[in-house]
Structure 1
């Protein structure tokens, strides 16, 4: 467990971090769209999929972050490639354009809806403009991206593909002062099941739910949570974030990315409408 918050720096990605899965569809001709590809879990997932030979269309509004993701993939000699697509995921036209740009790179079979944000406040104090932005980014955008991706998968010779959604332990239960995040992650779980219901068995939907991951987003939450609850930042880490987990270490972005690699692979063909709950016992044990 970290001794202080100064140690909460996301680790650098290395080639050894990533799961490699043999799969006939993991080729340079196959495209995976990853939202939030400019940092954190989105970056790690982009690099992980490129390391498995895929062409990755990484979508983010942060152009500099996307360039860094491309550089990381190249520095690790990824077998595939990351292609940056700058786009505002809260803009309907930009989402549609991003999918079409991705389709120009090859055959779109996979999409990972990862982009997200957090705001710490109670329901009574929650600013509705922030709620609306979070909704557009974290639920409406995944719905719209899926709407545009599904026809591309259905147009392939076998209709095989998958859409993976980044949920959370907060898609399973609620804690204080994260009402928008919790509501939207629950909604994303519903979208996952709807994709599975309509996918005919070959186009799958799945979600990934993890606890606290060492990303810039998580590091930024610590001070906000400490202020909202009136406790020390170290108490946030030890009690709020890790106190209920049995594995008392923060996950790394690469560990989450590997779940998307497996989820997209043919080895996960029975993962449909289901959730990869990788939370260190957070939601299944208690004291």
Structure 2
């Protein structure tokens, strides 16, 4: 087990964190859209895809975070590049503008719907205005972005591309005090299958489900869960988060990013309408 100081500090990214997959479509002329590109998993995925030679339209409302993402990719001498796209994903017109801006950069073939948030509260105490915001960000926005991206993929010479959705172990089962997050992650499973159903086999939809990932969002969640349950942050990590897992270690953002790289690659052509579940045994084992 890591020290308490390490547990609450997201790891720094490095060039060696990312898998490189040779792929004929991983070129500077090919564009991948990544939402939530200003921090956490979205930031790592943007850098991972740029490291594989793609042009990445990193979308976020956080201008400073996007600049950090682009600067980091450049400092890693990534073969591709990251173009910051500052837009509010809860605004329909902004989502459309983000896709249009990405299309101006090259051929859009890939999109990663990663942007998300968490709010810890019981059903009886959950504020509906918070639910509405989470819904717009985590389900409506991925639906609309996918709707806008699919015609671009279909218009390519071979119709090959993929849309990956960031799900969770909470898209497979439920725990207390996360009713909105759980509801929306289950909804992403339906979106993923709907994309696959209409994608003709070459335009694929898939999701990525992981356990707890050490991101800035997770640090906040640890603190909120500790307050909600009246226990220490260490108890949250060891008993609540890692208690059920067989792999007693949180994932890193880069490890999740590598799953999106694989999912977009030609090696994953049979991954369609399905989920990449890398959860350390959370949902498949119990004591």
Q: Tell me what 1:72 maps to.
A: 72
SS of equivalent residue, structure 1 residue 207: strand
Q: Alpha-carbon deviations, 1:85-106, whole Å to 9, x = none?
A: 0000000000000000000000
SS of equivalent residue, structure 1 residue 151: helix
TM-score between the two structures when normalised by the length of structure 1: 0.99
Q: Tell me what 2:95 maps to.
A: 95
- Structure-2 separation of matches of 1:4 and 1:255: 21
Q: Per-residue deviation at 1:12?
A: 1.1
Residues 2 and 8 of structure 1 are in contact (CA less than 8 Å); yes or no, is this contact kept in structure 2? Answer: no
SS of equivalent residue, structure 2 residue 206: strand
Q: Do residues 246 (structure 1) and 255 (structure 2) align?
A: no
- Structure-1 separation of matches of 2:5 and 2:210: 21
Q: How many residues align?
A: 287
Q: Please, what is the CA RMSD of the aligned residues? A: 0.7
Q: Do residues 163 (structure 1) and 153 (structure 2) align?
A: no
- State how 1:38-117 maps to structure 2 within 5 Å: 38-117=38-117
Q: Per-residue deviation at 1:231?
A: 1.4
- Structure-1 separation of matches of 2:114 and 2:106: 21
- Structure-2 separation of matches of 1:175 and 1:7: 22
Q: Tell me what 2:204 maps to.
A: 204
- Structure-1 separation of matches of 2:7 and 2:284: 28
Give the unaligned 5+ runs of structure 2.
Answer: none
Residues 167 and 209 of structure 1 are in contact (CA less than 8 Å); yes or no, is this contact kept in structure 2? Answer: yes
- State how 1:169-208 maps to structure 2 within 5 Å: 169-208=169-208
Q: Tell me what 1:213 maps to.
A: 213
SS of equivalent residue, structure 1 residue 85: strand
SS of equivalent residue, structure 1 residue 276: strand
Residues 5 and 233 of structure 1 are in contact (CA less than 8 Å); yes or no, is this contact kept in structure 2? Answer: no
Structure 1 residue ranges, 4+ long, deviating more than 2 angstroms after superposition: none
Q: Do residues 229 (structure 1) and 194 (structure 2) align?
A: no
Residues 5 and 234 of structure 1 are in contact (CA less than 8 Å); yes or no, is this contact kept in structure 2? Answer: no
Q: Do residues 137 (structure 1) and 137 (structure 2) align?
A: yes
- Structure-2 separation of matches of 1:70 and 1:147: 26
Of 171-180 and 5-14, more deviation after overlay is shown by 5-14
Q: Per-residue deviation at 1:3?
A: 2.9
Residues 139 and 188 of structure 1 are in contact (CA less than 8 Å); yes or no, is this contact kept in structure 2? Answer: yes
Give the unaligned 5+ runs of structure 1.
Answer: none
Q: Alpha-carbon deviations, 1:57-109, whole Å to 9, x = none?
A: 00000000000000110000000000000000000000000000000000000
Q: Tell me what 1:279 maps to.
A: 279
- Structure-2 separation of matches of 1:183 and 1:283: 17
Q: Per-residue deviation at 1:11?
A: 1.1
Q: Per-residue deviation at 1:7?
A: 3.9
SS of equivalent residue, structure 2 residue 118: coil
Q: Alpha-carbon deviations, 1:240-268, whole Å to 9, x = none?
A: 10000000001000000000000000000
Q: Per-residue deviation at 1:269?
A: 0.1
Q: Do residues 122 (structure 1) and 128 (structure 2) align?
A: no
SS of equivalent residue, structure 2 residue 124: coil
Q: Alpha-carbon deviations, 1:119-177, whole Å to 9, x = none?
A: 00001100000000000000000000000000000000110000000000000000000
Q: Per-residue deviation at 1:6?
A: 5.6
Q: Per-residue deviation at 1:230?
A: 1.5
TM-score between the two structures when normalised by the length of structure 2: 0.99
